[in-house]
Amino acid sequence: MNAPSPAPVVSAETLSLWYGSFRALNGVSFDVTHGEIVSLIGPSGCGKSTLIRCMNRMNDAPTNRIEGKLHVSGYDVQAKGTDVLALRRDVGMVFQRPNPLPLSIRENVLFGVRLHAKHLSKAESEALLQESLEDVGLWDQVKDRLERDAETLSLEARQKLCIARLLPLKPRVLLMDEPCSALDPDGIGAVEELMDRLRGRYTQIIVTHNMQQARRVSDRCMFMLMGELVEMSPTASLFTTPRDERTARYIEGRYG
């Protein structure tokens, strides 16, 4: 059902966003094809979080105004009749601080399917549970304590759980807003490995402040500055031969 289509899975056309009168996104256009990992870098406040929050409508405050076109996983994101809940099923989000729900490990993983698939047999849910936890490499660690509170896990395991809970919904896009910034080096390594394992099956868009991380994990990299998308290139070429002067200055460390 989710066979990758030739059309881009994310496509933005002159997308702009205003918080009140402040313009946080300024005519951003880009495409992402299914299965690739795209990293999003840029100085603090340049609009990285704003951009990825648009993609699953987490920016819906009435004072925010959006112009331009944004299609994600076949949905016209900003259109009036768009089924936001269905969009969010297809487009999962991972946050900066791991935020498992105050439920057991099992219920955390199955939370999404319980919302969207009303009738789920015990066997089906157990299979989804195991598959998702195996995908993120947590199964062996937690299979004997699935009823334990998710908050008893280590920070790294909690972040993996936050990724695992998106998988039973068979999403097409995973949005990750600085998913490693609360983790120690071991945790960062483990989560990067996980991203790599999920490459191809899911489209991953990763905001990061860590340029080394962007180089390690992403196929393509976007550089943003003051609400504008300055450049989007294959990661290797963005870091070695940036097309834009501003990108060059940023990766040399001349902005904050």
Partner 1 sequence: MSIHRRTRPAASVYAEKAIEVVIHLCGYSAILFIIAIFGFIGREGIGFLSTHIVGMFTQTSWNPTHDPADFGILALLAGTFWCVGLSLLISVPIGLGSAVYLSEFAPERTREILKIVVELLAAIPSVVWGFIGVMIVNPMLQALGAQVGLNGLNGAIVLALMTLPLLVSLGEDALRAVPDSYRQAATAMGATRWEMVWRVLMPAARRGLLVAVLLGVGRAVGETMAVLMATGNSVRIPTSVYDPVRTLTATIAAELGEAVRGGEHYQALFGLGVILFIITFFVNLIAEWTLRGNRST
Ligand X SMILES: Nc1ncnc2c1ncn2[C@@H]1O[C@H](COP(=O)(O)OP(=O)(O)OP(=O)(O)O)[C@@H](O)[C@H]1O
Position 247 contacts Mg ion (CB under 5 A): no
Identify the H or E element spanning 176. strand 173-177
Q: Could you say which of 12, 15, 34, 49 contacts ligand X (CB under 6 A)?
A: 49
Residues 6+ apart with CB under 8 A from 178: 96, 207, 208, 209
Distances (CA, A) of 53 to 14, 47, 225: 16, 10, 17
Both tokens of residue 151? 């908050």
Taking the CA atoms of the chain, what radius of gyration do you get in angstroms? Answer: 18
x/- binding map, residues 72-91, to partner 1, per CB under 8 A? ------------xxxxxx--
Helices (H), 117-199: 122-135, 139-142, 155-164, 185-198
Q: Report the site for partner 1 in 174-203 (rule: CB under 8 A).
A: none
The 201-220 site mask, x for binding partner 1 (CB under 8 A), equals: --------------------
Determine the size of the site formed for ligand X (CB under 6 A): 11
- Which DSSP category does 80 fall into? T
Binding piece for partner 1, criterion CB under 8 A, among 109-117, 133-141, 199-207, 211-219 = 109-117
Shortest spacing between CB 51 and partner 1, in angstroms: 15
Which is nearer to partner 1, 15 or 169 (by Cβ)?
Answer: 169
Q: Verify binding: residue 19, ligand X, rule CB under 6 A.
A: yes
- Our CB check for Mg ion shows the closer of 201 and 209 to be 209
With H, G, I as helix, E, B as strand and everything else as coil, classify residue 155: helix
For Mg ion, the binding residues in 17-56 under the rule CB under 5 A are 49
Integer CA distances (angstroms), 47 to 41, 43, 169, 182, 239, in order: 10, 9, 28, 20, 20
**Interface pick for ligand X out of 32, 47, 230, 251 (rule CB under 6 A):** 47
State the minimum distance, in angstroms, from the CB of residue 211 to partner 1.
26
Among 37, 54, 163, 169, binds partner 1 (CB under 8 A): 169
| 46 near ligand X, judged by CB under 6 A | yes
Q: Which of 12, 26, 36, 48 binds ligand X (CB under 6 A)?
A: 48
- How far is Cα 51 from Cα 256, in angstroms, rounded to an integer? 20
For the chain, give the number of residues: 256
Residue 221's alpha-carbon distances to 207, 208, 248, 253, in angstroms, are 10, 10, 13, 16
State the residues that interact with Mg ion by CB under 5 A: 49
> Which residues are at the interface with partner 1 (CB under 8 A)?
56, 58, 84-89, 92-93, 95, 97, 99-103, 111-112, 114-116, 149, 151, 162, 165-166, 169
Binding stretches for ligand X (CB under 6 A): 19, 22, 24, 42, 44-50
